[in-house]
Structure 1
């Protein structure tokens, strides 16, 4: 792990916690990919990634993250979270999420998010 990788992760994660799509995309390369592996096509480029983030925050306005584990190297990090939010019926929902992020020149090149799709669909259903 490098200090630069951990610092980039901390800045990037703070943007998601703050629900700030503009700051999120500033930390992506111009040709970056964000792929939520739950049936959607990857978002390609900053504009599409911004749209994906805005959509996530609209769907889950009180979304929070509980970090379970983090591993990183010179050009990547992998992190396990629980995503937590309140369902439309007022119930607290926790869904497992794993992110694998590739870094290029100090920015996010690819973000692959793997979510427990069955639990997610049940929570949103």
Structure 2
């Protein structure tokens, strides 16, 4: 395990836990990619990454992360999380995700997030009236 990659993971996770899109974007390279694999296009570059992170936080304002598993290498980490909170439509959120994050020179070059789409869609669907 690379201590510098582990340290970057810790700083990066703190930005997500604090729900801080500016700090998240700052830890990416200028040409970095953030791809939430849920049907949308990847965010490219810090401005789009900042906007994508903010949009995710807007959907679940009280979002919390529970670490399930972390693997760190010299130039990557993979991590499984359980996300919890309450969606903006009032539904409880409990969704499994997995991140594959590539790093170089102390910054994130790519972040791929794979999400349980069925659970996320259920959390974001307004209750029937």
TM-score over 0.5 for the pair: yes
Matched residue SS, 1:112? strand
Q: CA RMSD in A?
A: 1.1
For 2:40, the equivalent position in structure 1 comes to 40
For 1:95, the equivalent position in structure 2 comes to 95
For 2:108, the equivalent position in structure 1 comes to 108
Per-residue Cα deviation, 1:24-72 (whole angstroms, up to 9, x for no partner): 1110000000000000100000000000011111111000000000001
For 2:84, the equivalent position in structure 1 comes to 84
Cα shift at 1:86: 1.3
Distance 2:13 2:87 in 1: 23
For 1:14, the equivalent position in structure 2 comes to 14
CA contact (8 A) 2:33 2:42 kept: yes
Distance 1:42 1:6 in 2: 25
Distance 2:89 2:47 in 1: 32
Tell which deviates more after alignment, 90-99 or 63-72: 90-99
TM-score in terms of structure 1 length: 0.96
> Aligned in 2, Cα 1:34/1:22: closer, same or farther, shift over 3 Å?
same
Distance 1:122 1:91 in 2: 8
Cα shift at 1:96: 0.2
Cα shift at 1:104: 1.1
> Aligned in 2, Cα 1:123/1:29: closer, same or farther, shift over 3 Å?
same
Gaps of 5+ in 2: none
Distance 1:35 1:82 in 2: 18
Match status 1:26 vs 2:64: no
